[in-house]
Structure formats: C-alpha cells, structure tokens
Amino acid sequence: MIDPFGRTITYLRISVTDRCDFRCVYCMAEDMNFLPKGDLLSLEELERLATAFVRLGVRKLRLTGGEPLVRRGVMALVNRLGLQIGAKPGEPGLDELTLTTNGSQLARYAEDLAAAGVRRINVSIDTLDAAKFAAITRWGRLPQVLDGVMAAKAAGLKVKINAVALKDVNEHEFDGMLDWCGAHGFDLCLIETMPLGEIDGDRMDQYLPLSLVRQRLAAHWTLTPTDYVTGGPARYFDVAETGTRLGFITPLTHNFCEGCNRVRLTCTGTLYMCLGQEDAADLRRVLRGSDDDAVLADAIRAAIARKPKGHDFVIDRAHNRPALARHMSVTGG
Ligand code: SAM
Ligand code: SF4
C-alpha cells in the first residue's frame, strides 16, 4: 500500500476499546461518555480487519486504546494475531505485534503476551512520584503499574517507557526517570501533549516544548543522536551513561509527518488515515456488508489513496478549543 505522497503503509494501530481504568488529565475528562458496547467491533471482526491489512502489506501491528488490556477477552485476539508473526520472506505476515498499555493489568498478562509472540511493549508512565501519578491519572496507582512493568521485564518483554511532558507537573523529573529506566534497561520516550479532545483543563497550561527538556537533559547526560527507528515518529539519542535510548516525539514543534507509515483503526472500525485530520473511512459498514475479503481490500486501498500529507495541529487559542474534538483514546495515540 503506497499513499499519494509515496509513503508505504506498513504499520497499523488498532484501538481495541475506547474505555480505560485510568482518567489521565491530558487524555480524558473525568466523566467520559464511552461508546455503547454494541457499536464496537467484535474480536473476530477486529481480527478479520487486521488480517486484511496484513494481506495488503502491513508488517507491524500495535494494539492500543483506551486501555487495550481492559477489553474483555483481548488475549484471544492477541493470540490469533500472534499466529501471523514470522511469515516467510516475500509473503504477507507480521514482523511485529506489540501494544501500548498503562501497565495496570500487566502483572496478570505479561507472560501470556510473551507466549503469544509479543516481544516489545510500551508502557505509559509520566512520573515515578506516587502522589503525582495518582493526580495525573486520577484513578491509577503507581505500585500496581510498577509491578506490571517488572512482570513484563521478567517475562522477557522489551519495555519502553512513554512519558508525556507536562509543564509544571513532571518537567523536573526526567533525570530521575532516565536514571530508573537505565537501571532496568528500558528506553524512555518523551512526548509533547497534543491538542486532541475536550478535557477539563487548559491545554496550553500543560504544553512543554521538548527542545527545552532536551537542552536541560543534555547538561547531565551524554546524548548522541542515532538513526535508530522503530517505525514511529520518535527521534532517538543514545545515552552513554545508561546504555539505553532516549526518544522525543514532537508533533507540534516540527512536522513529524514526512516519514509517516501508519494508519489507525478505531474499535468501531473507523479508519483514520492521519491522527490529526478528520477524514476517515467506515470499514465496519464494509465489513458487515460483505463476506468477500476482496471488497474489504478495495475499501482499504481506497482509504489509503486519501491519506493526507500531514496534520495541522494548532490549538485554537482564542477559544481554547482542541484542534480536534476526538480524544486520543478513540484513535489510540
Ligand atoms: N492506555 C494506554 C496508555 O496509556 O499507554 C494506551 C492508549 S493512550 C491514548 C496512548 C498514549 O497516548 C499514552 O502514552 C498517552 O500518554 C498518550 N496520550 C494521550 N493523550 C495525549 C495527548 N493529548 N497528547 C499526547 N499524548 C497523549
Ligand atoms: Fe487511559 Fe491511556 Fe488515556 Fe491514560 S492515556 S486515560 S491510561 S487511554
């Protein structure tokens, strides 16, 4: 699948649920309205759709959400998708199946994930201060997440910690987090907040440019740029003192769209060709309208042919409105 700008689409992110057991302040309002369960694709439908994408050339699949591990029966889907890893060269199949999780359920699932063929996971932890963690996630508890992370490590999963950089909240903790990640062999990736969805506070109050964070970190750590790529938009640096990597995802400070190789599927079967644009394709209608996988493949190809060049995230400062009304938990980040 090649889009109109010559980018080959090899990466599909699937939000398997919009629900979550946390209410992170930058992601959700405290009293979120979730989708009626009947709107969701079944796990079998998600598998059929994912498989259609793999047949069309997707090599990397990430399950996300909401919190992917709170979807009932999700391991059945992971196990089925895991069977598509490791195809012969030249044949359709997955190189990688992975997920992004808040870690709350990892203690329970880490071994099953490893057994299903998952090799790497991203765990979102914005702070190692338990009180602050509770404040940011509203409903999350840090010790439970850390137990989950350690279970993942013990199960042999490679862990990357994702942290959203929040002005005045965790901005002075990244030295400590880098230290902790280094001690456990985890890469750390910092993310700028993105203006997605109505939340309770003011988004501009949270925004912290990562250029500033990098400058501050460079005072204490030897950061060497690398061309390491994971198929994502992060720019990575080797950290000499820890032997791990530090990544930065900066959607607002410079355009991260040039090398975009991904599309995003929601739990209702809506395909977004760009995280920062409204245009979408309703694949649920196609899926439920026909058992013919050729029809589904045509609909996917037609959607890829509409993939836009890039996002135009801007915060509507005059009205303090997000650039997009859709929450990150819908498209899965
Ligand atoms: N619940 C899982 C988790 O937290 O890892 C997966 C879904 S969550 C939406 C995926 C990632 O998006 C998390 O790392 C989260 O911190 C990030 N995220 C959510 N809202 C964001 C926003 N407005 N700006 C930047 N990152 C955001
Ligand atoms: Fe849930 Fe992840 Fe959003 Fe936090 S960032 S509320 S854990 S979906």
The DSSP H or E segment spanning 63 is strand 60-64
pLDDT of residue 107: 98
Which ligand 2 atom sits closest to the C-alpha of 23?
Answer: 6
CA of 41 to the centre of ligand 1 (A): 22
Q: Grade residue 278 by pLDDT with cuts at 50, 70 and 90.
A: confident
Ligand 1 binding pocket includes 51 (Cβ within 6 Å)? no
pLDDT of residue 313: 60
Ligand 1 binding pocket includes 106 (Cβ within 6 Å)? no
First to last CA, the chain: 22
Q: Which residues line ligand 2 (CB under 6 A)?
A: 20, 22-24, 27-28, 65-67, 102, 124, 137, 329
Q: Grade residue 318 by pLDDT with cuts at 50, 70 and 90.
A: very low
Write down the domain spans for the chain.
Answer: 11-331
**Cα 119 to Cα 159: distance, rounded to the nearest angstrom:** 9
The least confident of 28-32, 178-182, 245-249, 286-290 is 28-32
Name, in order, each residue with C-beta under 8 angstroms of 249's C-beta and a sequence gap of 6 or more. Answer: 189, 190, 191, 192, 210, 232, 233, 234, 256
**Is 256's pLDDT higher than 70?**
no
Grouping H, G, I as helix, E, B as strand and the rest as coil, residue 239 is strand
* Residue-wise pLDDT tens digits, 209-239: 899 999 999 999 999 999 887 767 788 999 9
Ligand 1 binding pocket includes 230 (Cβ within 6 Å)? no
Provide, rounded to the nearest whole percent, the portion of the chain with pLDDT above 90: 71
Nearest residue (by CA) to ligand 1, atom 9, is: 329
**Is 291's pLDDT higher than 80?**
yes
Q: What pTM was computed for the model?
A: 0.92
- DSSP secondary structure of 83-152: TTBSPPTTSS-BSEEEEEE-STTHHHHHHHHHHHT--EEEEE---S-HHHHHHHHSS--HHHHHHHHHHH
CA of 289 to the centre of ligand 2 (A): 32
Quick one: average pLDDT of 87-98?
Answer: 90
Ligand 1 binding pocket includes 65 (Cβ within 6 Å)? yes
Specify the higher pLDDT residue, 327 or 144: 144
**Cα 30 to Cα 13: distance, rounded to the nearest angstrom:** 25
Q: Which ligand is nearest to the CA of 138?
A: 2
**Cα 313 to Cα 315: distance, rounded to the nearest angstrom:** 7
- CATH value of 11-331 in 3.90.1150.10, 3.20.20.70, 3.40.50.1480, 2.40.37.10: 3.20.20.70
pLDDT of residue 142: 98
CA of 257 to the centre of ligand 2 (A): 23
Label residue 106 exposed, middle or buried (CB < 10 Å: 0-12, 13-18, 19+): buried
* Residue-wise pLDDT tens digits, 152-161: 999 999 999 9
Nearest residue (by CA) to ligand 1, atom 23, is: 194
pLDDT of residue 228: 80
Name, in order, each residue with C-beta under 8 angstroms of 17's C-beta and a sequence gap of 6 or more. Answer: 40, 65, 66, 67, 68, 70, 71, 267
pLDDT of residue 320: 52
Specify the higher pLDDT residue, 101 or 211: 101
Average pLDDT, the chain: 90
**Cα 223 to Cα 279: distance, rounded to the nearest angstrom:** 38
**Cα 170 to Cα 129: distance, rounded to the nearest angstrom:** 9
pLDDT of residue 26: 85
Label residue 4 exposed, middle or buried (CB < 10 Å: 0-12, 13-18, 19+): exposed
Residue of 22, 31, 63, 141 best suited for mutating to test ligand 2, as the one with most atoms within 8 Å of CB: 22
Instruction: To the nearest 10°, report the CA torsion of 177, 180, 185, 189.
Output: -10
Name, in order, each residue with C-beta under 8 angstroms of 157's C-beta and a sequence gap of 6 or more. Answer: 110, 113, 114, 118, 119, 120, 121
Q: Which two tokens stand for residue 172?
A: 């002075």
CA of 27 to the centre of ligand 1 (A): 6
pLDDT of residue 329: 67
* Residue-wise pLDDT tens digits, 31-41: 988 999 889 99
